[in-house]
Chains A and B, each alone.
With several copies, the nearest count.
Chain A
Amino acid sequence: MMNDCKILSQNARIAVLAARDLQDEKSCFVGIGIPSDAACLAKLSHAPNLSLIYESGVIGTLPHSPAMSTGSPSIAHNSDMITDSFTVFGELQAGRIDIGLLSAAQVDTFGNLNSTVIGPYENPKIRMVGSGGAHDIACLVPELIILMPHDSRRFVNDVDFITSPGANKEFNETRLKNKLGSGPVSLITDRARFYMSKDGWKLDAPLAGYSYDEATEDLPWDVGKGINNSITISDDLFNAIRYLPYLESKN
């Protein structure tokens, strides 16, 4: 019996799809919201030794209630370690955190992310929150996974401001030369998984239950035909969702 992901909330679909990319015994720099949810699901299923690292300095936690900030009580509660932000970003810069998960307001085909402004920087239509640690993670982490709800306004040809740099040819050259992290490797939506090619995002496969057309609806990029037919979610992973009840009820 195949697990029916269509019964899940949009956030839950992104989280289960992303969780698949998080292997056991890796360490993972996570932000609040779906990134944290995805990491928790992985840890509760196939990756019990996944180490969750929050930029607030909290390590080794498994929040069972939703947190609004990486410094929130439910993140700190029951953690294995609370250090400072300096330390965890230092570990990131030293290449000692394997995976990062990010979301943003806009993404382009090379995985450039915008969380700074809609419109021009000096005279913005909407001034957003700014980078936070997103730029830092995008520059430093060996493997970056981008999470986005399937919302066509978020998928653009050119982001208004590159808060968190992606995998443009020029950026990749600097990444290599100056020993930065290697940038985005996958884009997870609530309908599909994409991987980064030298020409930008290409479709891996739709989430089981979604068609090719749904997976690529309104995307402004040529994402190809896909290399797999569909992605099914393991029982372990699917069942783990019940341990994050707030994830099911969201949206």
Chain B
Amino acid sequence: MNDNFEISKKTKIATLESAIADNINSGSVIFLGGFGHAIPFYSSHEIIRQNIKDLTICRSGADILFDQMIASGIVSKVIFGYIGNPGVGLSHSFRKAVKNHKILLEEWTNYSLILRLHAGRMGLPFIPSKILQIGDMPDNIKYMKTIKCPYTDINMSAIPALVPDVAVIHAQQADEFGNIQMWGVDGDTIEGALASNKIIVSVERIVDNSEIKKFPDRTVIPAHRVSAVVELPWGAYPSYVTDFYSRDDKHYIEYDKISRDPDLLNGYIDKWIRNIESIEEYKKLIGMKKLKELQNGICGLKSNDE
């Protein structure tokens, strides 16, 4: 055996700055993870801080992270199934950007967007589906083609593959080599990550490889597919991370009011995004009292070290 076997294994641990700067360029197509759960707020904020422009961002169901990125002026196109503030209302920055023709839309449904990623993940140029044949959605997706099933002769939609340049996701834990473990609600996060050419992951904690091997079923992305891992506890705030902290519903509700008003929103983006230099500052801004509350309101799934 190579005497340096263990030490010669490559680490994927990176600073957030370099993880973003090295993998995301102006014009990149970016999949952002998190379906209600484990939304990569803090790492996506770094894209705003680095002011990388002309981005296309995509996912099935998108929440206020999309709103923030649109408001920051770095997004030229969205590929989506839903953009809103779940349980609260509209995405006001999205609404305004559409009204003012400031953004290109490629509008799908949640399932069709997931199927686009699924085809990408499987290396297929398209996947058939029964959806998008009636109603106004099919008229809207102008380039979608139909095919005839060669066995049943029925018409189907040929949902084209989507292969994002980079996926940015958040998860519970990873080892230094980049084996990523996530549990709780996934939605289309893994689908989108596996569809993408590069994968950047922020995690609540870095653990030893031996911890990963205790529950290999929980590993959702293998090390060799991961470009960079960044330890960012609280990186999914104001969304939540199962077994770590709960969702700050109030933050989402207040964001509705803030995002209706350009001045308030500018202030919010400065305060919560542009002026933040570290995850420690982000935590300070959330405040010790709230951090405690959210930790105590965790979702209740058992962690593997409890």
Interface residues of A (CB under 8 A from B): 25, 27, 32-33, 44-46, 48-49, 51, 53, 55-60, 66-73, 75-87, 89-96, 112, 116, 121, 124, 126-136, 138-140, 161-165, 170-171, 174-175, 177-180, 236, 239-240, 243
Contacts and interface: CB of A to CB of B under 8 A. Distances in A.
B84 A56 contact: no
A231 B81 CA distance: 37
Interface residues of B, number: 89
B223 A71 contact: no
Given A45-B1, A71-B35, A136 B111 contact: yes
A121 B140 contact: yes
Contacts of B240: 72-73
Contact of B99 (A53, A67, A124, A163): A124
Contacts of B220: 81, 83
Contact of B187 (A56, A129, A178): A56
Given A85-B60, A89-B111, A132-B61, A79 B131 contact: no
Given A68-B88, A85-B187, A133 B222 contact: no
A136 B60 CA distance: 12
A131 B137 contact: yes
Given A69-B35, A71-B187, A131-B110, 17 more contacts: A25-B10, A51-B223, A60-B222, A70-B86, A72-B247, A77-B300, A81-B216, A82-B184, A83-B220, A85-B186, A90-B121, A124-B99, A127-B94, A129-B84, A133-B111, A165-B135, A236-B2
A43 to B, nearest CB: 9
B37 interface: yes
B34 to A, nearest CB: 8
6 contacts: A73-B247, A75-B185, A79-B213, A130-B84, A133-B61, A161-B136
A90 B122 contact: yes
Contacts of B299: 73, 76-77
A174 B87 CA distance: 33
A94 B188 contact: no
B306 to A, nearest CB: 16
Contacts of A45: 1-2
B208 to A, nearest CB: 12
A132 B81 contact: yes
A163 B132 CA distance: 10
A77 B298 CA distance: 9
A135 B187 contact: no
Nearest to B10: A49
Nearest to A45: B2
Interface of B: 1-2, 4-6, 8-10, 35-37, 60-61, 63, 80-84, 86-88, 90-91, 94-95, 98-99, 107-112, 114, 118, 120-124, 129-137, 140, 152, 154-156, 175, 177, 179, 183-188, 190-191, 194, 209, 212-213, 216-217, 219-220, 222-225, 240, 242, 246-247, 249, 252, 297-301
Among B111, B137, B184, chain A packs the most CB atoms within 10 A around the CB of: B111
A96 B193 CA distance: 13
A33 B217 CA distance: 24
A246 B285 CA distance: 30
B185 A76 contact: yes
A84 B216 CA distance: 12
Contacts of A95: 123
Contact of A140 (B131, B155, B213, B223): B131
Nearest to B299: A73
